[in-house]
Structures are given as C-alpha cells and as structure tokens.
Structure 1
Amino acid sequence: DAHIVRGSLRSARTDAAVICVATDELIDKVPEIYEAGIHNILLESDIAMEFSRAITIIAGGGNYISRRIFGLIREPNIRSFYSALNTTPANAKDMESGPLSHREEMVLKLFAFGFSTKEIASELKVSTKTVETYKARTSEKLDLRSRVSIVKYGCRSGWFSVLLN
C-alpha cells in the first residue's frame, strides 16, 4: 500500500526519493500511488528504456512518471508536468529548436497546462519577470494573443499527448 510506504519514510525522517515500479497489472493503482505522495512512478515494462533518464531527472530534483501512465493522474504537480514535458534535464542549456528556444517552449507548455507565472518561475528557478518575458517573446514570435490561442497551438503541436494513455 502506497500510504504505508510513504508513512514509513516520513516516520524514518528520510529525504530519500522513492521510485515506485508498477507492473502493467497495477496501472489502475497509479492515481492512488501518486495521491499518497509517491511522485516517481515507472512501469516495469519501461525500465530498460526509461530507468537512466528517470534517475537523472530525480537526482536533479524532478519527478518522473512513465509517459504511458502520466494521463492517469488527475492533478499532477508542476514538477511532474515539467519532467513529462521536458525532453532534456531541467538544468540543460537553452537550445534553439524551431522558432522557440527550449526554455521558451517549456514556459509556453506549462502556461498552456494552466500553471501560473509564479509556479513556473519557482519550478524553473527564475524570476516571475523572466517568465513573463519568455511568455511575451513566444507569444509575439508565434502571434498568440491569449491563453486560449496558446492552448490551441499546444493541441496542434501535440503537447497534450502526454495526457493520453
């Protein structure tokens, strides 16, 4: 039971990161595991392909959830979203890809998923003013004038596929 594991770790006062390795048969338990406070969940069938990346993200302070099960979680926290959306480690330098830098794209994605400027700034470890600058710059580059237009752009770009099983 996820609540027992999490409770045991709290009583031991450990800061150890926990990775739940779930079998395909336990996929329906993923929301319960996440809600119990275990935010690193890896499918057993994905270990060969995802384990190294998961460890890198978790060691960097992020959360890791296998892409195939991410959509099962009702309200993931921003760190889980960032890890699922980000294809490189959180501390990687901005790289140009298309019209947007990597950081600009991440700000726009998190904004499209409904996170506030303050939440995004905290996750990216930058000021709220910096997030606003990224958002303004990307909105101008892509001619997106509202959150709705950003969400529509995200739909066309496949950003929300992370939510699909």
Structure 2
Amino acid sequence: MIKILLVDDHAVVRMGLSMLLNTHPDMRVVGEASEGNEGIQKALEHKPNVVIMDLSMPHGKDGLSATGELKKLMPEVNILILTMHDDEEYLFRAIQAGASGCILKSAPHDELLAAIETVAKGDAYLHPSATKRLMEEYMGAVRQGSTDTFNLLSDREKEVLTLIAKGFSNKEIAEQLVISVKTVETHKGNVMEKLQLKTRPELVQYAIKKGLLGYGL
C-alpha cells in the first residue's frame, strides 16, 4: 500500500485528488495539508511513502522550501511536485530541493497514478516535455564543459559519500546519521548512479579528488 500525503492550498484540489487516489487498490491518502509547514508536520506524523506537494502556496511555506526541509528530516520520503508551471526553472529548483519528480496539474489521471507508482519505488519521474528540456540543458552543459556531477548530489548524499570514503560501514553510517541501513543503501545507490561510479574504491577516489576528506589529489 502506497501511503500518500497531499499538500495543496486548494481544498477542492485536495478533495479531488483524495477521491481519485483512494479508489486505487494500492494507494491510500493518509493526510492532507494546506501549506508547507503543516505538510512537514503531517509527514512526520503519518510517515507517508509519497508526498504530493504543490509548488505555489501563498498563505504559508511554499512547496520548494517545504520540500528541502522535509528531505532533511525524512530523506527516505519521495516527493512528487504538482505544478501548473511548465517551466524548466521550476523543474530544476524542485530537483535541487530534493523532489523525486514533477508533474503538471493538467496531466491525465493515469499519468498521475503512474508518476506516484514510479516515485514510490524510489525512481525519478518527469513529465515528457520536462525530460526533453532537462536532457537538452544537460547535454548543452556537457558540450560546454561546465557540468559537474557533484552538484547533482543532495546534502545528505554528500554526507553519506564522505562517510563511505572515511571507511565507515553502512551500519555505522546509519548510526551516525540516525537513519536506517536501508536508507543509507538507497543514498549510496543514488550517489553511484548520479556520479556514474560502480565500486566503493571509485567512490573513495572521487571523494578524495573533491577534497571531502580534507585533502585532494
């Protein structure tokens, strides 16, 4: 069962989403919030697998700020940004804040359900036009030689990378960061995927080059 928290300042939108999602046999809405601070509190209370977060909530904490704070408190939670803005600026900022995906409010119901299932598994989801623009932006940066994959890592992923490079086991890292071993493994997998590295020694060498251990190559 995918437990879902809805964070949107429009009660009608929340009601419509709740009715749709609760009809799905594998989904259940466990809570609702009208702005970011309330969303963070409800997430800590209900421990959802997926948070559907509106970007624009003028009467409280906005979706981007709430996403960044919530990922620090609950790095294992998957946040799907729901927005009316088909704009790469919002897309990039959402990803940088720690969102697992982004979908337009105008998207068909079946696309929304697919997006929820995707991020619930720990995978990333972007609507098709956003994926195309993101790849164009990235390839443009690669051609100009200005891309740095280190910037793709979240703060928590950088912490995990540093501790791995210092020789700590997954269990020891989990104890230091007060998270589960499974969450550590998830972060490690994300780091390796983003940096295109395959082994622990490669991670250590990369961390040294970046000066994460206080010295570099």
Bigger relative contact order (CA 8 A; separation at least 6): 1
Higher percent of residues as strand: 2
TM-score normalised by length of structure 2? 0.31
TM-score normalised by length of structure 1? 0.39
Higher percent of residues as helix: 1
Larger Rg: 2
